[in-house]
């Protein structure tokens, strides 16, 4: 983490100096905004936290509730989301507060045999990520996004007790073309409306999204037709795996899932209840917490469950549904219009909580969208870039919905259909769980070939950095201070591209070497993407952040001999940035070149998008291809 760049500032480095004219609580609502976000769930807050860092982008977040969430709803944080949290700067805080899921167990009862543990599985495969799979109250995740917003230059706070009632887009207007009607939900002002105009609207307002309805969107798919109960409890039990994630399948009373929660005592139970009729809703049954408890006690038999306190509970049924498009531009108008209204989270895809992906994929939606909006609104990119949001995230959501449809059936199948397989000794649900671990870790999303994701022609240069997938971090040592760290942690949520230069064997950064020659071209040549896409007066690394990784141990390299591109002078005082050069962590035996299959003779360039996904892999001498990649995404600014 860097601070004091523009002068010494005491106190909390996360607390930015306030803008002169930020909007305070109680101030009148603005007449125009750059971005209006509907809904303060994980998708809306993830987007708001990104935009809050840019004081010149006016953003407003509305929610019909009277205040922030305190408990309930989602809980699971995949390793991919933890990697994303690292980019925001609060992964360590989540790791400290949360419960880590290290092992998942599977219990079953069939053929009149008592409930027994049938299998135990490592929850996160070795080497898949440096991050753990954790469980934590969704409200705490909200709090951490809200902290980023409150500490931003605009001291950004949501506007509660407001919802989007309707909106319309005037395609003939270039500035603030979206007219939005907001409705008050506070009992003292219920039904009163106010109208404002926005450049962009993002609907993160749930499965019954009014934003989606306003642009003519609809969710398509099937209904669950089965009621499930969920409750957070403080309880006394003799069930042995109360502090592990566990699937428990009784012989005749259904299935439940045990999910330990943060704090050492709280536990969440997902409990199968009753099948529903074709047109029946779970609420029609009038079931409550006591019904969930009774069914859970029957499933746990012969183990005892004495619930002392129900912290939160809900009865739900969720189908598997997906909307046609994640923005307001019809397919036949993509060439002539750019998006003005986008959808994210449950507003465009719904699924069961059994795979623990709902909150994770929703945040993934707006992590993808955030840097694109920033790039457009700061003039770095053409508005056509926003077309890539629907193209990339709808494909990701479809993969989730298809997976969840199959997984929900496996979890809910009857005991007689879930016997032990003789080849591996695992019940079907455990075997499917193992096979699906990369998916539930959030690591299987692979964006297809596009302007943002190049073809795989040069994949052989870095076989462990899959094109279109998230950048798989690995340990390195920072040269300037010999600090061991993870290379992927350089990718912050700041809308910048990262250009990682992996040096060929023997290259020490000396003049006339391949790294030095490339850096000289990147810094000074008018065809260089850094030169072309960085506006006059901006820091050299403000749009494309170049860093280098060498194969030698740090005592063999000299920081002062590195190319000046890797020792940029930034900020008000033009202080040197000492954090651009790394080397292999040979002392710990964790050589990034070997771990990620990087060609040690040739080296390579790995371009990482602002959302941590690999955009391109190139040889060190591929000047034209490097220019062409960024020219297809960013505007020429000098």
Give the pLDDT confidence score for residue 354 in this predicted structure.
63
Q: Report how far residue 100's alpha carbon sits from residue 596's, in angstroms, rounded to the nearest whole number.
A: 26
Contact indicator for 488, 472 with CB cutoff of 8 Å: yes
Query: pLDDT class for 57, splitting at 50, 70, 90?
Result: very high
Contact indicator for 120, 246 with CB cutoff of 8 Å: no
Q: Find the mean pLDDT for residues 512-524.
A: 98
Start-to-end C-alpha separation, the chain: 30
Give the pLDDT confidence score for residue 624 in this predicted structure.
98
Question: What φ, ψ does residue 335 adopt, rounded to 5°?
Answer: -70, -20
Lowest model confidence (mean pLDDT) among 199-213, 356-370, 588-602, 604-618: 356-370
- 3 state DSSP class of 517: helix
Give the pLDDT confidence score for residue 407 in this predicted structure.
75
Task: Indicate if the pLDDT at residue 565 is higher than 90.
Answer: yes
Task: Indicate if the pLDDT at residue 621 is higher than 90.
Answer: yes
Q: What are the C-alpha distances in Å from 2 to residues 18, 306, 570, 578?
A: 18, 50, 12, 10
Closest by alpha carbon to 202, among 44, 329, 359, 29?
A: 44
Lowest model confidence (mean pLDDT) among 39-43, 350-354, 478-482, 611-615: 350-354
Give the pLDDT confidence score for residue 255 in this predicted structure.
92
Structure confidence by residue, pLDDT tens digits, 72-101: 677 899 999 999 999 999 999 999 999 999
Closest by alpha carbon to 386, among 403, 395, 404, 374?
A: 374
Structure confidence by residue, pLDDT tens digits, 358-389: 899 999 999 999 999 999 999 999 999 999 99
Q: Report how far residue 108's alpha carbon sits from residue 403's, in angstroms, rounded to the nearest whole number.
A: 23
Fold of 100-132+225-317+413-443: D-Amino Acid Oxidase; Chain A, domain 2 (3.30.9)
Q: Report how far residue 142's alpha carbon sits from residue 44's, in angstroms, rounded to the nearest whole number.
A: 10
Give the pLDDT confidence score for residue 115 in this predicted structure.
94
CB atoms within 10 A of CB 68: 15
Q: Report how far residue 569's alpha carbon sits from residue 227's, in angstroms, rounded to the nearest whole number.
A: 60
Query: pLDDT class for 420, splitting at 50, 70, 90?
Result: low
Both structure tokens of 73: 């709803």
Q: What are the C-alpha distances in Å from 202 to residues 22, 34, 60, 205, 387?
A: 22, 11, 10, 9, 14
Closest by alpha carbon to 272, among 402, 411, 410?
A: 411
Task: Indicate if the pLDDT at residue 227 is higher than 90.
Answer: no
Q: Find the mean pLDDT for residues 184-210.
A: 96
Task: Indicate if the pLDDT at residue 625 is higher than 70.
Answer: yes
Contact indicator for 473, 488 with CB cutoff of 8 Å: yes
Q: Find the mean pLDDT for residues 236-244.
A: 98
Query: pLDDT class for 149, splitting at 50, 70, 90?
Result: very high
Q: Report how far residue 346's alpha carbon sits from residue 210's, in angstroms, rounded to the nearest whole number.
A: 12
Query: pLDDT class for 578, splitting at 50, 70, 90?
Result: very high
Query: pLDDT class for 26, splitting at 50, 70, 90?
Result: confident
Give the pLDDT confidence score for residue 402 in this predicted structure.
82
Give the pLDDT confidence score for residue 410 in this predicted structure.
76
CATH class of 33-70+138-221+321-398: alpha beta
Contact indicator for 637, 624 with CB cutoff of 8 Å: no
pLDDT higher at 71 or 341? 341
Kindly list the domain boundaries of the chain, sorted by start residue: 33-70+138-221+321-398, 100-132+225-317+413-443, 459-631
Mean pLDDT across the chain, nearest whole number? 93
Task: Indicate if the pLDDT at residue 60 is higher than 70.
Answer: yes
Task: Indicate if the pLDDT at residue 225 is higher than 80.
Answer: no
Query: pLDDT class for 287, splitting at 50, 70, 90?
Result: confident
Contact indicator for 472, 596 with CB cutoff of 8 Å: yes
Query: pLDDT class for 1, splitting at 50, 70, 90?
Result: confident
Contact indicator for 246, 258 with CB cutoff of 8 Å: yes
Structure confidence by residue, pLDDT tens digits, 424-459: 668 888 888 888 888 889 999 999 999 999 999 999
Give the pLDDT confidence score for residue 440 in this predicted structure.
87
Q: Find the mean pLDDT for residues 258-272.
A: 94
Q: Report how far residue 612's alpha carbon sits from residue 607's, in angstroms, rounded to the nearest whole number.
A: 10
Task: Indicate if the pLDDT at residue 422 is higher than 80.
Answer: no
Q: Report how far residue 601's alpha carbon sits from residue 461's, in angstroms, rounded to the nearest whole number.
A: 10
pLDDT higher at 228 or 189? 189
DSSP state of 622: -
**CB burial of residue 594 (10 Å; 0-12, 13-18, 19+):** middle
Q: Report how far residue 284's alpha carbon sits from residue 286's, in angstroms, rounded to the nearest whole number.
A: 6
Give the pLDDT confidence score for residue 131 in this predicted structure.
97
Give the pLDDT confidence score for residue 492 in this predicted structure.
97
Share of the chain above pLDDT 70, in %: 95
Closest by alpha carbon to 230, among 189, 194, 258?
A: 258
Cis peptide before 302 (omega within 30 of 0): yes
Pairing of strands 341-343, 193-203: parallel
**Cβ neighbours for 41, distance < 8 A, ≥ 6 positions apart:** 142, 204, 206, 345, 346, 362
Query: pLDDT class for 356, splitting at 50, 70, 90?
Result: low
Q: Find the mean pLDDT for residues 196-205.
A: 98
Q: Does domain 459-631 have CATH number 3.40.50.1820?
A: no
Q: Report how far residue 406's alpha carbon sits from residue 400's, in angstroms, rounded to the nearest whole number.
A: 10
């Amino acid at each position: 983490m860097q601070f004091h760049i523009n002068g010494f500032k005491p106190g909390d480095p996360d607390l930015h100096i306030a803008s002169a004219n930020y909007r305070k609580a109680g101030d009148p609502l603005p007449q125009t905004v750059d971005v209006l976000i509907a809904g303060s769930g994980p998708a809306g807050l993830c987007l708001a936290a990104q935009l809050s860092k840019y004081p010149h982008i006016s953003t407003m977040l509305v929610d019909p509730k009277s205040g922030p969430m305190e408990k309930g709803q989602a809980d699971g944080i995949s390793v991919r989301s933890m990697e994303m949290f690292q980019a925001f700067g609060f992964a360590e805080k989540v790791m400290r507060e949360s419960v880590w899921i290290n092992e998942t167990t599977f219990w079953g009862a069939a053929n009149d045999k008592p409930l027994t543990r049938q299998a135990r599985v490592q929850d996160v495969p070795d080497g898949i990520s440096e991050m753990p799979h954790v469980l934590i109250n969704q409200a705490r995740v909200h709090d951490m996004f809200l902290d980023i917003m409150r500490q931003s230059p605009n001291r950004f706070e949501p506007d509660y007790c407001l919802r989007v009632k309707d909106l319309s887009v005037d395609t003939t207007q270039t500035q603030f073309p979206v007219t939005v009607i907001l409705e008050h939900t506070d009992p003292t002002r219920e039904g009163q409306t106010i109208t404002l105009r926005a450049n962009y609207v993002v609907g993160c307002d749930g499965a019954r999204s009014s934003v989606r309805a306003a642009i003519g969107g609809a969710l398509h798919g099937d209904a669950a037709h089965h009621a499930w109960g969920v409750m957070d409890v403080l309880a006394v039990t003799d069930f042995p795996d109360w502090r592990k994630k566990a699937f428990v399948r009784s012989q005749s009373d259904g299935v439940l899932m045990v999910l330990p929660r943060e704090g050492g005592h709280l536990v969440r139970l997902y409990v199968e209840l009753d099948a529903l009729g074709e047109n029946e809703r779970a609420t029609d049954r009038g079931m409550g917490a006591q019904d969930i408890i009774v069914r859970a006690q029957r499933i746990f038999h012969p183990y005892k469950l004495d619930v002392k306190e129900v912290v939160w509970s809900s009865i739900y049924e969720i189908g598997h549904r997906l909307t046609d498009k994640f923005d307001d531009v019809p397919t036949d108008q993509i060439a002539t219009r750019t998006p003005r209204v986008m959808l994210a989270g449950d507003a465009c895809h719904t699924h069961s909580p059994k795979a623990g992906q709902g909150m994770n994929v929703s945040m993934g939606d707006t992590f993808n969208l955030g840097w694109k909006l920033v790039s457009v609104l700061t003039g770095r990119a053409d508005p056509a870039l926003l077309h890539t949001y629907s193209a990339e995230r709808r494909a990701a959501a479809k993969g989730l919905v298809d997976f969840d449809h199959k997984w929900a059936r496996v979890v809910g199948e009857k005991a007689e259909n879930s016997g032990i397989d003789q080849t591996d000794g695992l019940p079907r649900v455990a075997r499917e769980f193992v096979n699906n671990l990369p998916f539930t870790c959030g690591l299987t999303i692979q964006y297809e070939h596009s302007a943002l994701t190049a073809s795989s022609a040069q994949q052989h240069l870095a076989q462990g950095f899959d094109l279109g997938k998230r950048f798989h971090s690995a340990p390195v040592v920072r040269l300037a201070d010999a600090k061991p760290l993870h290379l992927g942690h350089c990718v912050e949520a700041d809308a910048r591209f990262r250009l990682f230069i992996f040096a060929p064997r023997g290259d020490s950064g000396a003049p006339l070497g391949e790294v030095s020659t490339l850096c000289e071209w990147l810094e000074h040549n008018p065809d260089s993407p850094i030169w072309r896409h960085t506006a006059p007066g901006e820091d050299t690394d403000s749009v494309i952040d170049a860093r280098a990784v060498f194969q030698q141990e740090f005592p063999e390299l000299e920081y002062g001999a590195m190319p000046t591109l890797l020792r940029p002078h930034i900020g008000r005082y033009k202080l040197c940035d000492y954090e651009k050069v790394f080397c292999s962590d040979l002392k710990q035996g964790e050589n990034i070149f070997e771990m990620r299959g990087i060609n040690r003779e040739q080296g390579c360039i790995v371009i990482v998008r602002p959302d941590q996904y690999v955009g391109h892999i190139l040889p060190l001498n591929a000047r034209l291809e490097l220019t062409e990649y960024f020219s297809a995404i960013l505007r020429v600014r000098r």
